[in-house]
Amino acid sequence: MAEDSPKRRKANFNEAETEVLIEQVLKHEQLLFAAGPGRASAGQKRKVWELIRHKVNPVAACPRDVEDLKKRWRDLKRRDRSKLCRLSQGCGPPPPPALGLLLAPEELPPTAAPPA
């Protein structure tokens, strides 16, 4: 009967997993996301994602695979951009201090830019 039960979903990413993921992806950002003639091959990118997986799994609530990490990264980027879009249109609360973690300073709206 256990064989017929539906697959259970994995636990949500905890804060430590998310921090390690962000730190590692930003560390290897050029290799993973660079465009143009100097970009990495698919094999090199796969090795980097495996390295990131090995860094995230020790702090993970459950074992994560590379696809889990890629999806989490896409979700983080989408949420960050979505928040920035809402803030640049003038609606919503003032920006939190960590806003723009995934975006370059020139991509931040003037109201969300940190003081110099």
Stretch (H or E) spanning 84: helix 66-88
Picking from 77, 78, 88, the residue whose alpha carbon sits closest to that of residue 112 is 88
Q: What is the pLDDT of residues 90-116, one digit of tens each?
A: 655 555 555 556 666 665 666 544 554
Distance CA 54, CA 9 (A): 21
Instruction: Output the CA–CA distances (angstroms, integers) from residue 30 to 24, 36, 39, 76, 105, in the order listed.
Output: 11, 11, 8, 18, 17
**pTM of the prediction?**
0.68
Q: Is the pLDDT of residue 65 over 60?
A: yes
Specify whether the CB–CB gap between 55 and 20 falls below 8 A. Answer: yes
Residue spans per domain, the chain: 15-86
